[in-house]
């Protein structure tokens, strides 16, 4: 994740140009967080804005680097994560009265267990994990992995 600082001056002379500069930048990145603060120094006022972001191009590169794993190649730790993911998927399928493969295939779960992502963005590397699945279940998967990683010695 990267960070960039903008100042949006609140005078008519500079406001539109500063907003345009910020808007052009926002078209080229994936925003993760913003931190705005109004700054007043004497008669001068402006917004100080920190933008935490990822480059769109780096995210697209990650999407093209898909990972597929065979379950027979998993280590003991990875197998533990894989089984935890399978249990999560089964519980989810039972609650929603749908087949478990709807949520993720065994190959996808094995790839997640092997990769052991720590952020939702890293799930893009897993073949079959598209935007829809990641937006619906990404945080839940990462939370599960984080809890499993603390239980694995």
- Spell out the per-residue pLDDT of the chain, length 153, in tens: 899 999 999 999 999 999 999 999 988 888 888 999 999 999 899 999 999 988 776 555 554 555 556 667 788 999 999 999 999 999 999 999 998 888 999 889 999 998 999 999 999 988 888 999 999 999 999 999 998 765 654
CA–CA dist 129, 136 (Å, integer):
11
Percent of the chain's residues with pLDDT above 90? 57
Residues 6+ apart with CB under 8 A from 109: 82, 85, 86, 89
- Give the pair of three-digit tokens for residue 109: 């779960």
The pLDDT assigned to 151 comes to 64
The pLDDT assigned to 128 comes to 86
pLDDT digits (tens, 9 = 90+) for 106-147: 889 999 998 999 999 999 988 888 999 999 999 999 999 998
DSSP helix/strand/coil, 43: coil
């Amino acid at each position: 994740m990267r960070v960039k600082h903008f100042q949006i001056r609140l005078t008519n002379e500079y406001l539109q140009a500063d907003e345009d500069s910020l808007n052009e930048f926002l078209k080229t990145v994936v925003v993760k967080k913003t931190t705005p603060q109004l700054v007043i120094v004497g008669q001068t006022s402006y917004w100080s804005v920190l933008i935490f972001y990822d480059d769109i191009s780096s995210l697209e590169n990650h999407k093209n680097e898909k990972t597929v794993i065979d379950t027979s190649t998993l280590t003991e730790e990875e197998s533990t994560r894989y089984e935890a993911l399978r249990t999560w998927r089964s519980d989810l399928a039972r609650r929603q009265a749908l087949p478990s493969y709807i949520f993720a295939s065994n190959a996808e779960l094995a790839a997640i267990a092997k990769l052991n992502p720590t952020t939702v963005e890293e799930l893009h590397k897993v073949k079959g994990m598209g935007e829809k699945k990641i937006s619906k279940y990404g945080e839940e998967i990462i939370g599960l992995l984080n809890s499993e990683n603390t239980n694995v010695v």
